[in-house]
Each structure stands twice: as structure tokens, then as C-alpha cells.
Structure 1
């Protein structure tokens, strides 16, 4: 095991490919609470420090991928001074940026719901493979919140400004075929094949068949 936290783990598979798995202990779903964000940062540091890792697949140990941020933490957080809130936002974004900046092919295997911060995590990777049962979106606008983990920047880069404005402003929850059509998903596969398909895509990148840096 390369890294083991309460929410995130990293282990080396075959052919230099590592698996970063979200599996928040004591919870029925994965969500981005403070602990998970901090865990992700530590996992990324562990990956950066391991030269054996040539590619990365991101998975979930639960029936959903990540349902979003933990909004139960917001009540106390929003009572803080503005500079402390801004500092938390900056620190959190630095974690997602560090993941994005890993100079290895990164493919997310989305096995179920990936909403809000869950989708923003996917957007920080190079490729997204979705299960046919997956659903993705940025519904936080319905709570009066804008995507805070980089989604307002990364989504337009992936699907264009027109589609991104619609996804962000309407806050819809989209099925896998819709995600594939607009370009959020790079592939949609059978539910029981999503992890294998993501690993295969990493292998194609490592073999030089796909230029992940250009992507």
C-alpha cells in the first residue's frame, strides 16, 4: 500500500499503474468533507514521491463515486470570517490542482453518482470512463452555491462555454449517454467493466497510443 487514509487509499497494481480509491470509512457514500480533501492531498503527495507509478486510475469503493461536498460542514464554516473561508477554498483548490498537475495519465472510473465536487474531481483527471448507470452534474447552484473545486474553469475547457453555462446554471443531473454526447465522458461502458476499461485506457496512454498530455 502506497497510502492509506480514512477516506482515500493508493495501491500499486500491475504495469506501473496505481489505483487511487475513494472509500470514506463509517459512511455509506463518498463525500468531500474536510477529511477527504486532506486525505486526497496526502495521497497525491505520496503518488508524486513514488517513481514506480506511471499511470493512475481513480475508483470508488462504494456504489456511488462521490456525491459532492459535505454540506453539513457548511453551517459552521460560513460563520467564519471571510478571509478564513477564502483560505479554505484556496487550500482545497490547491489539492485538486496538485492532482491535475501529476504528469502521468489519470483516468477516473465513474461507477455511479458523481455530483458537485465529485464531478469536479473527475474534471481534474485526463479522462473519464462512465458506467452506463452513472449520473453526473453540478447541482449545488440549487443551494445557492457555485462549483468551488474548479468546476467553473475546467468544465468549459472540456465541453465549451455554452454547454458549461447550461450545466452549471441549471444544476441538472445527467445520465451517462448525455455526458458522452457533450464530452464530459470519454467512454461509457457496462457497469461491471468500468474499472477494467479505465485501466485499459491508462495502458493505451502508457503505450503511446493516446497522447494524454495533448488531451
Structure 2
């Protein structure tokens, strides 16, 4: 069921560190093994040991999750989560750290932590309201009830619904479209949106202007403009 164990969190951190440093990777897709779950949530079997830990130890464990999810959210490359099965709890929170979410019709997505007497602790209380608004986010977290892929699309929680078994295929199609563009531009779009949304409009516009000034210093913009003039497809070097 692809549970979010401490080992999985560590492995995600390791692979995304590699991805961040690999110049050959432009767009990243993550999906779940098998066809039952993208990720079913936290590893509940670990929770009894958590009950015995000190406040300091619990804070350390929680921050390990935040550090990994923050790394994914702020990766300077576009990311797509291909949701190929149930996406609950920590799995939903992981998906929220991605730029784009594509879900199969079968998918149930939600944050059921309240039913265990706790609440989303992997960024769900912060990322979900920013994505779908505070009222709907509170409803999903207060009730703990999952919603269908169709409902998730309706409220803006996911970007696209596909037939069962087609999430990864659709993600690859989208990734190819994205990867045809310059990473110099893509990374600045992501930075402008991610940082700008948490600042005032005037500060966000200043950030956009700064990033636009930077992109005009890249090799790729010269290639893009020249390709347009010559009526051909650009060949970006991502520099």
C-alpha cells in the first residue's frame, strides 16, 4: 500500500537530492508501485513507538517529513504526481507537495487523520487550504472523509482525471510538453508562483521582475527568440 514509513521519507529525500543535481532531469514524475495505492498514508505500525517518544524526538521525526516534502515542493524543476490508487493521509500530503496532480478515476483522496485522534502533520493543514481554500480544506480534515477523483478535480485539488491505469501515461504526455521548454524559464515560473503566493501583490511583482531580468541573461532565451524568428522549434540547453 506504499505507506509513508520513516524509511520511505529518507529514501524520497535521497532520490530528490540526486534529481536536483542531475542536469539531465527536467521534469519529475512520481507514482505508486502496483495499482492499489499511490500512498495509503503513514505507517500506523510505527505509531505505538511514537507514543513513547519525548517531545523533542517527536519534533525531530515530524521535521524529517517536512524537510523532505519541502524539498519536493521547492525543487527547481516541475513535478507531477501520478495518482494511481488511494491517496490518503501522508500520501495526500505528499501529493500536495507536487506542482501537478493527475489522478485515475478509481482514486480516493483525503486526510483521515482525525479518525485516529490526530490531524495532518505532513503539511496538510497548510498546503491544502492554500490550494482549495480554507473552508473546503477544513471540511475534508474535520470529517476525515475521502473524496473521489471527480470531486477532487471539481474543487481544484487535482489537475486532471484519467481512465484507470492511465495516470502515469498521461503524466508522461504532460511531462514531455513541459520538458520541451527551457528549465531556466520553468524554474523561475515555479519560484515566482511559490514565493509570490505568500507575499503581498507588490512584493510578488517585484519578485517576478527580478526573475524576468535573470532569465534575460540566459542562453536559452537567445535560442528561443532566434528559433521564433527562424520559424523553427527551439533546442534548449537549459543554460
TM range (shorter): 0.7 to 0.9
Q: Determine the C-alpha separation between the residues in 2 that align with 1:117 and 1:83.
A: 21
- 2:30 is the alignment partner of 1:62: no
In structure 1, C-alpha distance between the alignment counterparts of 2:10 and 2:144, rounded to whole Å:
26
In 1, Cα distance between equivalents of 2:32 and 2:7: 16
- Contact kept in structure 2, 1:30 and 1:66, CA below 8 Å: yes
Shift of 1:144: 1.0
TM-score (norm 1): 0.83
User: In structure 2, what is the Cα distance between the partners aligned to 1:193 and 1:91?
Assistant: 32
**In terms of mean alpha carbon deviation, does 120-129 or 70-79 score higher?**
70-79
Which runs of no fewer than 5 residues in structure 1 stay unpaired? 1-28
3-state SS of 2:81 partner: strand
Distance 1:101 1:91 in 2: 15
Matched residue count: 187
Q: Which has the larger radius of gyration?
A: 2
Shift of 1:192: 2.4
Greater helix share, structure number = 2
- Which of 79, 87, 97 is the equivalent residue of 1:106? 79
RMSD over equivalenced CA pairs, Å: 1.7
Instruction: Measure the CA separation in 2 of the matches of 1:155 and 1:204.
Output: 27
Contact residue 26 and residue 179 of structure 2 kept, 8 A? yes
Q: Structure 2: where are the runs of 5+ without partners? A: 195-239
Name which of 172, 175, 182 aligns with 2:148. 175
Moved over 3 A (4+): 207-212
> TM-score, structure 2 length as denominator?
0.75
> What's the secondary structure of 1:125's corresponding residue?
coil
When you count strand as a share of all residues, which structure comes out higher? 1
Match of residue 132 from structure 2: 159
Q: 1:31-65: CA deviations, max 9, x gaps?
A: 01111111111111111121110001111112211
2:67 to 78, 82, 94: 94
Deviations 1:93-129 (A, max 9, x none): 1011011111111011101100000010100000100
